[in-house]
């Protein structure tokens, strides 16, 4: 639906985004993860049609977007920035802003705002002004202001960065409720991987403005068996030992830096000891680190080691390797 094609975007001559293709499906929920400065916010500003790519083009519903996107097109997309800003006036006036631009009638405005306010628990804030709100409250109001517009595409840049856990939960629940009521495309940029794993159908990693071929973590969608404590969770042909009280659908993440790499199994406290073959080595961090990709009987895992360690272990593609990690290192989302 919304697509970037062969986009190279520069700020003052420096390439900040370099994407061959980036597609946001019509009703998809995509999370873009990456560190600060990886290009996430720039990507969202391009998708929001607020900036024109230096090279390449943006395609919306099969049609190329002109250099200065008309307001009619921009009104189908909206972005909530990482540190959103509220305009002068009350929270209610802020929530009404975009609706008034769309000539929505008074009764309809009240109804739409009522829904957004209920979903995000903003009723007590309606008559407050921006200086009377906390950062987290500003963020919630900004999300409500965007949700109220019922756009085809909603872009959220770190939407829960100023929220506590409960507020973040409420925010994502509101988003899920809205999507259940009215399917639309959503793209969330986050460095909080938990957000991404929990809410997105598709996770894409950005590093230095490019889509990273390496998944940031080893992620597995699983169905956790009932019960407490240590569980053997089937993942493809292997089982991962996890310590959790949760049950049912979940996402397991094995941080690559928590994986201990060796040539032979070593006696240790690690409950997960997997033997496999190296399928690839990727140099990271300007040569100081190496991502070791290995096939563990049909399941691919990535471990991060120093370049020195990779050399000492004489790791080569096709060679045997053992990955070990503790059950407690496995994160459950």
Partner 1 sequence: MDFLAEGLRRAWTLLVAGDSEVYGIALLTLKVAVVATVISCGAGLPLGYFLATRAFWGRRAALTVVNTALAFPTVVVGLLLYGLLSRRGPLGGLGWLYTWQAIVIGDVLLALPIAAALSAAAVQGVDPRVRRTAETLGAGPWRTAWTVAREARFALAAVITAAFGQVVAEIGAAMIVGGNIRGQTRTLTTAVALYTAQGDFGLALALGLVLLLLALVVNIALQVLQGRGHA
Per CB under 8 A, 168 contacts partner 1: no
The residues, ordered by sequence, that sit 6+ positions from 202 with a Cβ below 8 Å of its Cβ are 28, 29, 30, 31
Q: Which contacts (CB < 8 Å, 24+ apart) does range 99-102 have?
A: 99/148, 99/149, 101/75, 102/75, 102/149
Read off the tokens for 278.
């190296």
**C-beta separation of 153 from 76 below 8 A:** yes
- Cα–Cα distance measured from residue 215 to residue 329, given in angstroms and rounded to the nearest whole number: 17
Choose between 76 and 326: whose C-beta lies nearer to partner 1.
76
Stretch of residues binding partner 1 (CB under 8 A), selected from 72-80, 158-166, 177-185, 220-228: 72-80
Q: Which of helix, strand or coil describes residue 185?
A: strand
Q: Cβ of residue 75: shortest distance to partner 1, in angstroms?
A: 4
Per CB under 8 A, 83 contacts partner 1: yes
- Cα–Cα distance measured from residue 91 to residue 123, given in angstroms and rounded to the nearest whole number: 10
Q: Cβ of residue 204: shortest distance to partner 1, in angstroms?
A: 21
Residue of the chain from 15, 50, 126, 214 that contacts partner 1 (CB under 8 A)? 50
Residue of the chain from 18, 59, 97, 215 that contacts partner 1 (CB under 8 A)? 97
Choose between 83 and 246: whose C-beta lies nearer to partner 1.
83
Per CB under 8 A, 145 contacts partner 1: yes
Residue of the chain from 102, 182, 221, 263 that contacts partner 1 (CB under 8 A)? 102
Per CB under 8 A, 101 contacts partner 1: yes
The residues, ordered by sequence, that sit 6+ positions from 24 with a Cβ below 8 Å of its Cβ are 1, 2, 3, 30, 47, 153, 185, 187
Choose between 41 and 244: whose C-beta lies nearer to partner 1.
41
Q: Cβ of residue 179: shortest distance to partner 1, in angstroms?
A: 19
- Cα–Cα distance measured from residue 269 to residue 272, given in angstroms and rounded to the nearest whole number: 9
Size of the site for partner 1 (CB under 8 A): 25
DSSP state, 270?
Answer: -
Q: Cβ of residue 143: shortest distance to partner 1, in angstroms?
A: 13
Question: Which residues would be at the binding site for partner 1 (CB under 8 A)?
Answer: 45, 48, 50, 71, 74-75, 77-79, 81, 83-85, 87-88, 97-98, 101-102, 129-131, 145-146, 149
């Amino acid at each position: 639906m919304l697509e970037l094609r062969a986009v190279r975007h520069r700020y003052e001559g420096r390439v900040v985004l370099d994407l061959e293709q980036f597609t946001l499906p019509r009703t998809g929920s995509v999370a873009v993860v990456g560190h600060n400065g990886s290009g996430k916010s720039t990507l969202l500003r391009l998708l929001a049609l607020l900036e024109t790519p230096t090279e390449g083009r943006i395609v919306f519903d099969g049609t190329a977007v002109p250099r200065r996107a008309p307001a009619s097109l921009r009104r189908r997309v909206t972005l909530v920035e990482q540190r959103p800003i509220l305009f002068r006036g009350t929270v209610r006036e802020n929530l009404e802003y975009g609706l008034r631009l769309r000539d929505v009638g008074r009764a309809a405005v009240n109804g739409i705002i009522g829904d957004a306010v209920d979903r995000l628990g903003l009723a007590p804030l309606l008559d407050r002004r921006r200086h009377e709100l906390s950062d987290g409250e500003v963020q919630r109001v900004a999300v409500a202001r965007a949700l109220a517009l019922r756009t085809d595409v909603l872009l959220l840049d770190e939407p829960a960065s100023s929220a506590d856990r409960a507020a973040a939960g409420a925010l994502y629940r509101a988003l899920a409720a809205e999507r259940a009521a009215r399917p639309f495309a959503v793209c969330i940029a986050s460095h909080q991987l938990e957000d991404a794993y929990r809410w997105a159908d598709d996770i894409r990693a950005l590093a230095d403005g490019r889509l990273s071929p390496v998944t940031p973590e080893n992620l597995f969608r699983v169905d956790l068996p009932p019960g407490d404590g240590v569980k053997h969770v089937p993942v493809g042909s292997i089982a991962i030992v996890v310590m959790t009280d949760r049950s049912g659908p979940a996402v397991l993440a094995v941080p690559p830096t928590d994986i201990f790499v060796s040539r032979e199994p070593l006696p240790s406290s690690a409950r997960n000891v997997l033997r496999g073959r190296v399928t690839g080595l990727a140099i990271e961090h300007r040569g100081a680190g190496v991502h070791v990709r290995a096939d563990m009987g049909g399941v691919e895992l990535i471990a991060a080691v120093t370049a020195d360690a990779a050399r000492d272990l004489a790791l080569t593609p096709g060679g045997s390797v053992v990955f070990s990690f503790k059950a407690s290192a496995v994160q459950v989302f």
